[in-house]
Amino acid sequence: MTELTYRQYRWQRVMQHIPASLIGAMVFSKFLHYVDPKLMRISKDRLSIPSLLTGLPVVILTSTGAKSGQVRTKPVVGVPDGDNVALVASNWGQSRNPAWYYNLQANPVAELEFGGHTGTYTAREVTAPDEYQRLWQKATEVYIGFDKYQQRADNRKIPIMLMVPHVEKP
């Protein structure tokens, strides 16, 4: 199975403070979801603004809309966990969860693209306290902004969706 990998340079770790800030989150949340998918498509998933500036591992999530049933594609930060990929539904620290979170709740089978790999995954929300804490720790090691987003999330516990490689039943 293909594992998500990433590499962060020291300067990229410092740059993470910009989108983690309140002003940075407001600015990036308004335009990044329009620009990044186009950049990733043109570069065949090799380039994204967050990966270039901050060294974050970005994956392309393709899911089915919870209400519309339409195919939805979004770049999101993927946290490596062996063959699995954890997606943190931080929504830049806003008071509500991102739409892709509800899409995965309603339709858990989705596609992830990263590093030239495309695969089908099944999402499940992480609810066990020990597993949540372990994955939250991994997530904050990847991106310092997650702790700051949790502080701003208006008492919303930020969900983590674990994407597990989908296995077809015979």
Do residues 113 and 44 lie in contact, with contact meaning Cβ atoms separated by under 8 Å? no
Q: Which residues contact 14 (CB under 8 A, 6 or more apart)?
A: none
Axis-axis angle for helices 22-42, 145-152 (nearest 10): 130
pLDDT tens for the chain, 170 residues long, are 678 888 888 999 899 999 899 998 988 888 787 888 788 778 776 778 888 888 899 999 999 999 999 999 999 999 999 999 999 999 999 999 999 999 999 999 999 998 888 999 999 999 999 999 999 999 999 999 999 999 999 889 999 999 999 876 65
CATH number at 10-164: 2.30.110.10
